């Protein structure tokens, strides 16, 4: 475990040093994130401006869902996209061979090799929205602590799904459209799950677990979630993580290296 922590620190320190050579990109990323956030706020405002509200969700409570969704975007842009989107290129160029020869887990290497600080604005804006809405609702600091486990396990579920999609590049090299479909489905998480018809709620809960990424952490923060859903979030994340490990090992049986 100590070796993996040392490797992780080395990975991230070199990645940050490389990215900071282009500091203007951070300003561009911040402006892009701000524009996207304003668009999301405007879309939510259109629902609430006439007095309508999602069943059981006030304006401030819906803001918490949007804030968590923004955190999710920041997490994806910082940790997932810079790594998992490169699996396709590793397979195309044959450089996956060098990863498989390294004396550490290839899944760990592919998942943590780099990070992008350009996702930090989304993380910051998400925290600001959640904090602002929480202050308006009078939430206690304990409420934020209670919301952390479902939020963490939601992020873990998203990682596992994204990694398994990336692993399919061993069979289908051009999978960029597949990952974009996943990201498009995740856009549904910017609103509470009750905003959608029943059929969509079932799909976004049990097929593509969008509800576990934003709505359930928001309900935990608001103190109105059943613990069965929290346990479901934990079990789902563990199951998907284990599935990603099994799927990666299975996919490698079909990998044809650049030298073969």
Residues contacting residue 143 through CB under 8 Å, at least 6 positions apart: 134, 221, 222, 223
What phi-psi label fits residue 225: left (phi over 0), alpha (psi between -120 and 50 degrees) or beta?
beta
Residues 41-77: tens digit of each pLDDT: 888 888 888 777 888 899 999 999 999 999 999 999 9
User: What pLDDT digit, counting tens, does each position of 100-116 carry?
Assistant: 888 889 999 999 999 88
Instruction: Quote the CA–CA distance of 103 and 109 in Å, as a whole number.
Output: 10
* Cα–Cα distance measured from residue 27 to residue 32, given in angstroms and rounded to the nearest whole number: 9
Confirm if 67 and 135 have CB atoms less than 8 A apart.
no
Alpha-carbon distance of 4 to 241, in angstroms, equals 18
For 182-224, the pLDDT digits (tens) are 777 788 888 999 989 889 888 888 888 899 999 999 999 998 8
Per residue in 69-105, is it b (16+ CB within 10 Å) or e — as a string?
bbbbbbbbbbbbbbbbbebbebbeeeebeebeeeeee
Instruction: Classify each residue of 117-148 as buried b or exposed e, where b means 16 or more C-beta atoms within 10 Å of its C-beta.
Output: bbbbbbbebbeebbeebbeebebeeeeeebbe
Instruction: Report the distance separating Cα 150 and Cα 166, nearest Å.
Output: 24
Return d(Cα 53, Cα 51) in angstroms, integer.
Answer: 6
pLDDT tens digits for range 142-167: 999 999 999 999 999 999 999 998 88
The model carries a pTM of 0.91
Of 142, 162, 22, 151, the C-alpha closest to 86 is 162
Helix axes 215-222, 120-137, angle to 10 degrees: 40
Contact (Cβ atoms closer than 8 angstroms) between residue 89 and residue 99: no
Per-residue pLDDT at 254 exceeds 80 = yes
Q: Say how far apart CA 229 and CA 150 lie, in whole Å.
A: 9
Check if the beta carbon of residue 136 is closer than 8 Å to that of residue 62: no
- Cα 94 to Cα 78, 88, 98, 165, 170, distances in angstroms: 25, 10, 8, 18, 11
Residue 259 has pLDDT above 60, yes or no: no
């Amino acid at each position: 475990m100590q070796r993996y922590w040392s490797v992780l620190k080395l990975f991230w320190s070199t990645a940050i040093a490389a990215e900071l050579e282009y500091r203007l990109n951070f300003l561009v990323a911040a402006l892009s994130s701000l524009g996207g956030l304003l668009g999301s706020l405007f879309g939510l405002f259109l629902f609430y401006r006439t007095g309508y509200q999602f069943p059981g969700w006030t304006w401030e409570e819906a803001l918490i869902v949007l804030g968590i969704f923004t955190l999710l975007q920041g997490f994806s842009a910082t940790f997932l996209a810079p790594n998992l989107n490169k699996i396709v290129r590793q397979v195309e160029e044959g450089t996956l061979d060098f990863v498989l020869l390294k004396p550490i887990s290839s899944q760990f290497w592919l998942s943590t090799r780099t990070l992008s600080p350009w996702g930090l604005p989304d993380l910051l804006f998400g925290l600001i929205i959640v904090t602002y809405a929480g202050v308006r609702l009078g939430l206690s600091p304990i409420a934020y602590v209670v919301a952390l486990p479902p939020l963490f396990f939601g992020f873990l579920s998203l990682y596992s799904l994204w990694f398994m999609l990336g692993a399919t590049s061993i069979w289908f090299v051009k999978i960029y459209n597949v990952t974009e479909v996943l990201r498009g489905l995740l856009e549904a998480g910017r609103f509470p799950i009750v905003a959608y018809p029943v059929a969509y709620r079932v799909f976004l809960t049990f097929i593509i677990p969008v509800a576990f990424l934003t709505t359930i952490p928001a309900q935990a923060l608001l103190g109105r979630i059943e613990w069965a859903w929290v346990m479901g979030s934990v079990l789902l994340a563990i199951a998907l993580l284990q599935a990603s490990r099994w799927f990666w090992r299975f996919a490698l049986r079909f990998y044809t290296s650049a030298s073969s």
